[in-house]
Amino acid sequence: MTAASQIRRELDASGIATLTFDRAGSSANVFDRATLEELDTHLAFLTAASGLKGVVLASAKPAIFIAGADLHAFSPAPAESVLTALVALGQNVFARLAALPVPTVAAIHGACLGGGCELALACDWRVASNAKATRIGLAETQLGILPAWGGCTRLPALIGLPAALKLILGGKPVVGLQALKLGLVDDVAPPEYLLAAARTLLARGRRPAAARRLAHLRPLPALIARKSRTMVLARTRGHYPAPLRAIDVCVQALGRPVETGLALERTALLELSRTPACRNLLGLFMLQERAKKISRPELAGLTSAPVRRVAVIGAGVMGSGIAQWLAARGLSVLLQDIDAKALAGGLHRIETLVRGGARRRLFTPAEAAATLDRVTPILPDAPLTDCDLVIEAAVERLDLKQKIFRDLESRTRPETVLATNTSALSIDALAGELANPERVVGLHFFNPVHRMKLIEVVRGARTSPAALAAALEFAKAIGKLPVIARDQPGFLVNRVLMPAMGEAVRLFNEGHAAETIDRHLLAFGMPMGPLRLADEVGLDVALHVQKDLAARLPNFVQPDGTLEKMTAKGWLGRKSGCGFYLHGPGRRAKTNPAAAEFQSGRASAMDGAAMTDRVILPMINEAARCLDQKVIEAPEDVDFAMVLGTGWAPFRGGPLRHADAVGVPEVVRRLESLARDVAPHFGPCEHLRHMAAQGRTFYPAPP
Amino acid sequence: MSAPAVYLVAGARTPFCKAGTLLAEADAVELGRTVAAAVLAQTGLDPAQIDETIFGCVGQPMDAMNIARVIALRAGVPESVPAYTVHRNCASGLEAITQAADRILLGRGHVYLAGGTESMSHYPLLFSDSAARKFATLARARTWGQKVSGLLQFRPADFAPRVSLLLGLTDPVCGLNMGQTAEVLARDWLISREDQDAFALRSHTRAAAARARLAEEITPVFPRGQKEPSAVSLENGVRDGQTMEALTRLRPIFEKHHGTVTAGNSSQITDGAAALLIMSETALARSGLKPLGRIVAHAAAGCAPSRMGLGPVFAIARAEASSGLKLGDAEVIEINEAFAAQVLACRAAAGSAAFARDQLGRDRALGEFPDEITNINGGAIALGHPVGATGARLILTALHELRVRQARRALVTLCVGGGQGAAVWLESCP
C-alpha cells in the first residue's frame, strides 16, 4: 500500500473484502480524482479476485462517511474538458462497483452526502448507523448543479420518484431512521454493530431487481414532475435552473437503462456548470468553507481557552436569541436583565424557539429540556467572575451601553472578553473610559439568530488582537460564520442594506404600492421585499439606524419622514401588528390600506427594472464605499456577508458579483442618471468611478 | 480550641405558593433546579467546586428518583459530583443542610449544595392495592378471553383514588393524622381556639408586613409551558387582610366535634424549594465570598408520634445537652408553624418545669420563646409548609434575620411527623 493511499483494503478469511475510506491528514473523506482512481484500482483488483464473497465499504472517520466531491476542483470553474472527465470517471467507477459479481454493502456512519451518497447508491445494500452524525443526502442542487454520479438515476429507482425528488430538490439530509423509512437504507444499527450488520446484509446475496413502482407508471411521473416544478418555481422564482434540470433528468431516466440516465446526468451537469448561478453558488459555498477557518496573519499563535460559560446582557429578542443558540450548543448561559418581567419574556422566547426545534425533531425532548436548563436568569447584581465571555445585547443607546460596560468591568475577571451585539454604535465609543478598552469587541449577530449564520466580528480602534482572535474563535466554535469588519458606522451589512430600505420607503412615499415594490425585489431574487423587511425588523429600529447612519456618514441622506410619521402613530411593523403590512397571529401579512395616507403622491406606473435599480444600485454604491474605506477587506467578504446576513440573491453571488455581471461602467452610468433624474445622493462614489474609468472589475475575470 | 466551622455562604428560595396555584406548573425538580441554579449564579461559584449535592424531599416524584441528583445535573453541577436525597419528613430540607455540615466536620469535603424541595401540587393519586393487582392481571392477559375476564374483575371502587397527600399526612404508627396530633396537644395543654386563631392572625400580619424583607430571600420561578411569559415572585398564602372574624368562622377540620384546629390556624399545603451553599473554612477563604453565618450546633430527637408537635422541645433540649446553648441564648427564633396549637404547646412545654422533669429528664424548664424574636416574619401558617423545603427555608430566613437585626445567635427548630424534632443553632459571622 502506498503512502498516499486514501482507501484501506482488507480481505478476510471468509472472503469478505472491506474498503475503508480514510483520507490522510484530514477529518473528512471526499472524492477527488486521486481517490476515485484509487477506488477504481481496488475495484479492479476485487473484480479479478477469486474466492471473493462480498464487499463492505466503510469509513474510518469519526463523523464522516464521505462528505461528497471535493469542490475545490470546481473553484475557480474548471475547464469543461476537466469537468467532463471527472464526471465520467465517477460514473464509471461507481458503475464498476455496481457491476461487481458479489454483493456489496455501504456501512454508513457519519455524513454521507453528494458523491458519498451516490457511492452508497451503487452498492447492493446500505446500512446506516443510528448516530446523530449520520446524515444521508444529495445537496448538489443547492450548489447549482445536480447529482451526476448516478444519483438522479439510481435514487428514484430505489426509493421512488416522489421521495427521491424530495431529497434531491430539498437537499436536506436524512438521519438513519428516516433513511430506513424511505427505503434509502436497508438497516439501521448502532455504530458499534455497523460492520456486523453490513455482513448480515451481504449474506442476502445480490439485491434482487426491484418491483415496478405504482408511482412510476405513466402518466404519474409526468404529473409528479409538474407538481415539483410548480413548487420549485414558487420557491426560486425561476432563478435557479439546477432543481428544474434535476427533475427533468430524474423523470427521463426513470425505467430506462442506467447508462441512459448517466448520460442525461452528464449533459445536464455540463450545462448547469456553465450557468452564472452555479458559479455564484459554488463561490459562496467556498466562502463559507473559508469562513469556517478564517484567521488573520497577525492573530497567528493567539489561542484562547475554550468558552464554557457566557453571560448575555439583555433578554430582548437578540439577547434571548443568542442565549438560545449558545445553550443549544452546550454552553452554560447567564441571561441578565433588569427585572423578573424582562427575564420572563426572554426565557419565554427561548422556550418557544427550543420547542419549535423539538417539534421539528432537531433535538429530542430531553435535549430541549437540557438546553432550557443551561440558561440561568440573573439580575445585574450577580458576579460574572466565572464567565469566559460576556455578550451585551441591550437597547441601542450609547449612554446605557457605556454604563453597562462600566458595570461589567467591575463584575468580570480583567481578561474576560466583553463583546457587544450592537448593530450600529461605535465599539470604541462603547469601550469609552474602561480601564481595559482593548477587551471590547463587536459580535454582531443577525436576526433571527437561529437562522442567520453570519456574525460580523467588529474590531474597534483599541480592540486587542487577543480579543479579536477570541471573538473569531468563539464565532466559529458556535457554528456561525464570521466576517471581520472595521468599527465604522453600521459596520458592513446594515450600512449596505440601509440605503436599499431608505430608497424603498422613498418609492412608497412617491406613491408606489408597498406590494409592488416588494414584488419587484422578490423577482430580483431577494428573500423578502425591503418594506416587508422594514416591518419585520421594526419601523422604529429601521428609522433609528437610518438616522444614526445619516448623522455619522456624510454620504447618507436623512430618511424622508415617512417612517417618522408611521412610528409616531404607533405603527412599528410586525411587533405592533401594523406597518406597511398588517400582521396578525397565524395569518399572512396583508397590505395595510391605511398606509396610503403617508404617501405624498400618486406615482405613475414604473418599470420593474427601473424600480429594482433604484433599490439595488445604492447598495452597490455603498458596498464600493465600504471597500474603499476598508470597512471590510475584500469584495468576496462583502458578497459573503450580504448573502449570509441578509439573504441577498444568492444566485447572483452578492452585490459586487452582480455589479461585475452588469458591468461597473454600466452601474456608474445608471447611478449617474438616477442622480440626475431622481436625487443627487445616487451619485456613484469615487471608487466606482475610478474602477469604471480604468475598466476594472471587483473580481478577476474568469479564465 | 474551637471546633472547625461550617459556613452558610449563600442561599435562595422560591416564593412559597399555595398548592395548585402559581407554581402548579413547575414540579419539585424544576423548583429545586431553580434555587440550585440561583445559588450558583449568586455566588459565581464554579459548580465543579461542589463536593456533593444533598436535597430533602418528602414526596419524591416517581419520575425523579433521587431527586437531588436530578436537580444537581439540571442545575449545571458536573456529572462527576455525587448527589443524594434525604428524608426526615418535615425536617428533610434541614436534614440536608445538617448532613452537609457534618460531612464538612468529618473532613469528607469542603463545598456542599444542600436544600429542600416540595411540590405538593404534584402529589399523585394512587390506585388501591386490589386495583393494582387487577391491572397486573390484565397486563398479563394474552388471549381475548383472559382480557375480557380481566376487565370484568374491576369494580367502581377500584377507580376511587387514594390521595397520597392524605396518606403522607397520616401517622401509620399511631393512626392519627397530623391535624389530630395537634388536637391532642391542644387538649393536653388546654390551648383555646381563640389563642390558636390569634397566633394564626399574628403569622399573617407579620408575613404581610415583611413582604419586602422576605423578598430578599426569594428568587423568581419562571414556569415553563405557559402561553405567556410568567415570573412568579409573589407568595400567595399570605392574607394581607386576615381578621379574627374570618378565622373564627372556620370549622374544625380534623375533629368535627369540639375540635379547635382549623384550616386557618394550620400551615398551608404549599409548593416551594430552598437551597444553601455550605462551605468549610478553607473553601470559604479560597472563594473570597462573604458568608451569611455558620452552623454551631444541631440535634434531632424523638418523641411520641401522637404528640409529634412537641418535637422542637425535645430537640432543643438535646442540642443544649451537646452544645450548652440555652433557649435564652437565642436572639432570633424560627419555629415551624405546623399548627398554631402545636407551637403554643411547645411554648408551654418549654416553660414547664414539670414537663422538663418528667419528659426531658432535667431539673429546670427550657425557657421562653419571646414573642418579639420568634417568627418575626410570620411562619408556615401564612407562608405555607412545602414539607421537604421548610427546614431549609427556616435556616435561610433566620440567617437573613441575623443580618437584619445584627444579632449573634439564631435557633431554628421544627416538629417532624412520626414523632421527632430537629433544632439548629446558627451564628452570625463578625
State the pLDDT at residue A331. 96
Spatial distance between the Cα atoms of A469 and A58, rounded to a whole number of angstroms: 37
The pLDDT of residue B1? 37
ipTM of the complex: 0.92
Supply the pLDDT for residue A586: 65
User: Would you name the residues of B annotated as active-site residues?
Assistant: 90, 385, 415
Cβ proximity of B411 and B423 under 8 Å: yes
Strands B293-302 and B270-280: unpaired
CA atoms within 13 A on the CB side of B57: 32
Q: What is the pLDDT of residue A595?
A: 83
With a cut of 50, say whether residue A2 has pLDDT above it: no
Spatial distance between the Cα atoms of B15 and B145, rounded to a whole number of angstroms: 54
User: Pick the residue with more confidence: A396 or A380?
Assistant: A380
| Residue A438 · residue A302 · CB < 8 Å | no
Going by the DSSP 8-state scheme, the letter that residue A122 receives in this structure is T
pLDDT of residue A605: 78
| Mean pLDDT (whole number) for A294-300 | 75
Over residues A521-569, the pLDDT tens digits come to 999 999 999 999 999 888 998 998 899 899 988 888 888 889 999 999 8
What pLDDT score does A1 carry? 40
What is the per-residue pLDDT for B348?
97
Lowest mean pLDDT among A9-23, A411-425, A603-617, A684-698: A603-617
Parallel, antiparallel, or unpaired for β B125-126 and A7-11?
A: unpaired
Assigned architecture for domain A305-487 = 3-Layer(aba) Sandwich (3.40)
Closest CA to B349 of B382, B387, B396, B308: B308
Alpha helices in A274-313 (DSSP H): 276-292
Q: How far is B92 from chain A (nearest CA, A)?
A: 25
Asked if A7-274 and A494-694 have one fold, the answer is no
Across A67-95, average pLDDT: 85
Q: What percent of chain A has pLDDT over 70?
A: 98
A666 grid coordinates: 454600466
Closest CA to B12 of B236, B273, B293: B273
Q: What is the pLDDT of residue A217?
A: 81
pLDDT score at A297:
74
State the amino acid at position B384 in one-letter form. G
Task: Give contacts of A382 with chain B, Cβ < 8 Å.
Answer: 41-42, 44
* Interatomic CA distance for residues B60 and B76, integer angstroms: 21
Q: Is it the case that residue A702 has pLDDT exceeding 70?
A: no
| A→B interface, C-beta within 8 Å | 332, 334, 340-341, 343-345, 347-348, 351, 369-370, 372-374, 376-378, 382-386
Q: Residue A587 pLDDT > 70, yes or no?
A: no
Q: How far is CA A241 from CA A147, A173, A281, A635, in A?
A: 14, 21, 12, 25
**CA A106 to chain centroid:** 29
**Residue A210: its H or E element:** none
With CA atoms as reference, the chain A residue closest to B232 would be A340
Alpha-carbon torsion (A396, A400, A405, A411), positive or negative: negative
> Would you say A673 and A543 are in contact if contact means Cβ atoms under 8 Å apart?
no
Given CB atoms, is B222 within the 8 Å cutoff of chain A? yes
Distance from CA of B220 to the nearest CA of A (A): 7
What is the three-state SS of A2-60?
A: CCCCCEEEEECCCCEEEEEECCCCCCCCCECHHHHHHHHHHHHHHHHCCCCCEEEEEEC
Residues in chain B with CB shorter than 8 Å from the CB of A383 are 42-44
Alpha carbon distance B430, A621 (integer Å): 69
Model pLDDT, residue B168: 85
**Residues B242, B248, B249, B251, Cα dihedral to 10°:** 120
Q: Is A268 exposed, middle or buried (0-12, 13-18, 19+ CB in 10 A)?
A: buried
Residue A103 has pLDDT above 80, yes or no: yes
Written as nine digits, the cell of A701 is: 475575470
pLDDT at A344 over 60: yes
How far is the alpha carbon of B330 from chain A, nearest alpha carbon, in Å? 32
pLDDT at B192: 97
Q: Does residue A468 carry a pLDDT above 80? A: yes
Distance (Å, rounded) from C-alpha A690 to C-alpha A701?
Answer: 18
Domain boundaries A494-694, corresponding CATH code: 1.10.1040.50
Note whether B231 contacts A: Cβ–Cβ < 8 A. Answer: yes
B153 interfacial to chain A (CB closer than 8 Å): no
Task: Say whether the peptide bond before residue A219 is cis (omega within 30 degrees of 0).
Answer: yes
Whether A596 has a pLDDT exceeding 90, the answer reads no
Q: Which of A344, A373, A378 sits opposite B230 (nearest CB)?
A: A344
Whether B234 and chain A come into contact, CB under 8 Å, resolves to: no
Distance CA A642, CA A626 (A): 12
CB A443 within 8 A of CB A457: yes
Confidence at residue B2, expressed as pLDDT on a 0 to 100 scale: 53
**Contact residues, chain B, for A332 at CB < 8 Å:** 76
Distance CA A144, CA A272 (A): 7
**Alpha carbons A624 and A691: distance in angstroms, whole number:** 10
Question: Is residue B201 within 8 Å of B379, Cβ to Cβ?
Answer: no
State residue B292 phi and psi, 5-degree precision: -85, -30
Measure Cα distances from A55 to A47, A106, A134, A142, A202 in Å: 11, 9, 21, 32, 8
Q: Which of A244-248, A699-703, B47-51, B211-215 has the lowest mean pLDDT?
A: A699-703
Core vs surface per residue A640-669: b (16+ CB within 10 A) or e: bbbbbbbbbbbbbbbbbbbbbebebeebbe
Per DSSP, what are the bridge partners of residue A486?
Answer: A459
Name residue A445's beta-bridge partners.
A455
What's the full length of chain B, in residues?
430
> In this structure, what C-alpha cell is assigned to residue B388?
421537604
For A393-424, how does the pLDDT look when each residue is reduced to its tens digit (9 = 90+)? Answer: 998 888 999 999 999 999 999 999 999 999 87
The grid coordinates listed for A424 are 450600529
Whole-number pLDDT of residue B161: 85
* Nearest-by-Cβ selection for B220 from A340, A372, A385: A340
Q: Scanning every residue of chain B, which has its alpha carbon at the shortest distance from the alpha carbon of A335?
A: B41
- Average pLDDT rounded to a whole number, residues A610-635: 93
Nearest chain A CA: its distance from B223 CA (Å): 9
User: How long a stretch of residues is chain A?
Assistant: 703
Rounded CA-CA distance B375/B336 in Å is 8
CB B121 within 8 A of CB B20: yes
Query: Do the beta carbons of residue A651 and residue A525 sit within 8 Å?
Result: yes
Is residue A436 very low, low, confident or very high in pLDDT (cuts 50, 70, 90)?
Answer: very high
Q: Where in chain A are the domains? A: 7-274, 305-487, 494-694
* Marked catalytic residue, from A42, A444, A512, A544: A444
d(CA A685, CA A671): 9
Q: Which residues of A touch B43 (CB under 8 A)?
A: 383
Residue closest to B146 by CA, chosen among B155, B156, B158, B134: B134
SS3 A99: coil
Beta strand A187-189 with B162-163 is unpaired
- Residue B148, amino acid: V
What is the Cα–Cα distance from B277 to B295, expressed in whole angstroms? Answer: 12
CA distance A370 to B70: 11
pLDDT at position B162 is 85
Q: Which of A348, A379, A381 to mutate to test the interface with B (most CBs of B within 10 A)?
A: A348
Chain B's closest residue to A378, CA to CA, is B41
Chain A residues with beta carbon closer than 8 angstroms to that of B228: 348
pLDDT value, residue A537: 86
Contact A373 B75 (CB under 8 A): yes
Q: Residue A654 has what DSSP assignment?
A: S
CA distance A387 to chain B (A): 8
**Measured between alpha carbons, how far is A516 from A520 in angstroms, rounded to an integer?**
6
Distance between B143 CA and the closest CA of chain A, angstroms: 32
Contact A344 B229 (CB under 8 A): yes
Residues of B in contact with A378 (CB under 8 A): 41
Among chain A residues, CA nearest to B46: A386
Ordered structural domains, chain B, with CATH: 6-123+268-427 (3.40.47.10)
pLDDT greater than 90 at residue A213: no
Q: Nearest chain B Cα to A343, which residue? A: B231
Q: Which CATH architecture has domain A7-274?
A: Alpha-Beta Complex (3.90)
Q: What's the pLDDT score for residue B416?
A: 96
pLDDT > 70? residue A703: no
According to the 3-state scheme, what is the secondary structure of chain B? CCCCCEEEEEEEECCCEECCCCCCCCCHHHHHHHHHHHHHHHHCCCHHHCCEEEEECCCCCCCCCCHHHHHHHHCCCCCCCCEEEECECECHHHHHHHHHHHHHHHCCCCEEEEEEEEEHHHCCEECCHHHHHHHHHHHHCCCHHHHHHHHHCCCHHHHCCEEHHHHHCECCCCCCEHHHHHHHHHHHCCCCHHHHHHHHHHHHHHHHHCHHHHHCCECCECCCCCCCCCCECCCCCCCCCCCHHHHHHCCECCCCCCCCCECCCECCCEEEEEEEEEEEHHHHHHHCCCCCEEEEEEEEEECCHHHHHHHHHHHHHHHHHHHCCCHHHCCEEEECCCEHHHHHHHHHHHCCHHHHHHHHCCCCCCCCCCHHHECCCCCHHHHCCCHHHHHHHHHHHHHHHHHHHCCCEEEEEEEECCCEEEEEEEECCC
Q: Give CA–CA dist B187/B261, Å, rounded.
A: 11
List B293's β-bridge partners, or say none: B8
Note down pLDDT in tens along chain B; length 430 residues: 355 789 999 999 999 999 999 999 999 999 999 999 999 999 999 999 999 999 999 999 999 999 999 999 999 999 999 999 999 999 999 999 999 999 999 999 999 999 999 999 998 888 888 888 998 999 998 999 999 998 888 888 888 888 888 888 899 999 999 999 999 999 999 999 999 999 999 999 999 999 999 999 999 999 999 999 999 999 999 999 999 999 999 999 999 999 999 999 999 999 999 999 999 999 999 999 999 999 999 999 999 999 999 999 999 999 999 999 999 999 999 999 999 999 999 999 999 999 999 999 999 999 999 999 999 999 999 999 999 999 999 999 999 999 999 999 999 999 999 999 999 999 999 7
